[in-house]
Structure 1
Amino acid sequence: MKFRTRAIFSLNLAVLTACPAFAQQPSVQDSFSKPYWELVVGPFALHFSNEDEHKQVVLLGVERSEGDGWMWGFSAFRNSFGQASAYAYYGYRWDGLFSNPAIYVKLSGGIIYGYKGEYEDKVPFNHNGFGLGIIPAIGYQLTKADSLQVGALGTAGLIFTYNRRF
């Protein structure tokens, strides 16, 4: 299991590293020029600890960029313990990290629901399944419509997503 996790992590890292060789470089103005929606698909999460009780995380979400960097969204996911969960959030996106218009950073904060029962303590300030979440992420804009993103899930792990603008 550890080999599979390392292999998937290495593959994602290789794709992000190789992207400048084949990606269309969108301008920073393209990212903020007008509002748009994004479909967010997260097929994989990497946990920092390999607990036997961890399950595969699967995420599906929708995000709205207002055209000025501000964004809001909603995602539904199966958490690391197999529970149906959701994250409603508001945040900001900064484009052009390291003077590269294709690299961006996002910071979102909001309400997470779904960590209940014996897993309530896995999310800060959790009460009856409702807790607070802050997710920093870094992404690479492959084309004007497609991007890959890695988000930090506190001290628990990383979520890898594919985002598609429409």
Structure 2
Amino acid sequence: MQITFWILIFLATFFIMEFNAWFTHKYIMHGFLWNLHKDHHHKDHDSWFERNDAFFIFYALVSITCFYLWSYENVWYTLPIGLGILTYGVAYFVVHDIFIHQRFKWLRNVDNKYARGLRRAHKMHHKHLGKHEGENFGMLIVPFKYFK
């Protein structure tokens, strides 16, 4: 029975992270922490790294805290939560940084309906260089209009 709850908690956490990514992106990155995010929309430096890369640290710390609570405090349900956050982070990195922005030259030839919709939606997000008037703040869930 516990393994069923474990899997449900893991999956729920992964899907909740998509909403967290959307909320954080729209209201925090394009809000009061725009100074950290704006170099992702308009690169103003020569470094491979962006100030925007600092955002992963928050969710990494939450995930690490979950692993700590599971390992040292014996709170069993924090393991699937920590793994759900970690798995979403890996998916986000692969989709956003590798597939879409080609920060590594992998996955260049992926071409299917979902991939095209994902790239189209993200391109529409990046057409706005400023803090306001953005669209498509999520990552893995893409509005249907970008699949047409």
TM-score, reference length from structure 1: 0.23
Q: Which of 1 and 2 has greater Rg?
A: 2
Structure number with higher helix proportion: 2
TM-score by length of 2: 0.25
